[in-house]
Every structure is written in structure tokens, then in C-alpha cells.
Amino acid sequence: MRILPMLLLVIVGVIFAQAPNYQSFYYQECAGVAIDVGNYGAPCIADWNNDGNKDMVLGIFSGGNIRFYANDNTNDSPVFSSYSTLKADGVTISLPSG
């Protein structure tokens, strides 16, 4: 008799299931060129330099580096003109990948 409640849950789940809602593709440029770091880029948006505008910190799988893109415009319309590679004690941070 335990099968009946399980069957009921499956039927209710199928009836009320919703299609996944995927976010649209996010395209961003830096100095007029598409940012392309290959597969498995890991962006994080935050006000990294504390100027009130949200910047982008982008982890890169290949090479394991982390890029910092300062936002030169507004939060609603970010503009990235250049990037720098994050360092610790003067040495480029490189995380193992793979």
C-alpha cells in the first residue's frame, strides 16, 4: 500500500512540473572585444575596488588565473576598458585546474 502514496506524488509532480527557466546568454566586451576565456569561466560581479560600481572578477579555468575588470561606467550599463590579473605578494595568482 506504500506504492499508492508514491504514485500519487509522481502524478502530482508531473501535473505541476514547470519547464526550466534558463537565463539568457550574457555577452560582455572589454575594450570593444568580446571577453572569451574558453570553457568554464567563472564570473563574479561585485564592487571590488569600492567605488560604488559593480566590477567583474573572472576566474579562468585554463591557466587558473583570476582577472579583475574595473567597471568604468554605471551598474546599469557596465563598461570594461581593461583588466588586470590578480596577484598576491606580487605574484600572479594561479589556481590548479583540471
Q: Does 29 bind Ca ion (CB under 5 A)?
A: no
Distance CA 41, CA 24 (A): 16
> By CB under 5 A, is residue 55 in contact with Ca ion?
yes
Instruction: CB nearer to Ca ion: give 7 or 44.
Output: 44
Out of 42, 51, 62, 72, name the contact with Ca ion by CB under 5 A: 51
57 touching Ca ion, by CB under 5 A: no
In the complex, minimum distance from the CB of residue 84 to Ca ion, in angstroms, rounded to a whole number: 13
Which residues make up the interface to Ca ion (CB under 5 A)? 47, 49, 51, 53, 55
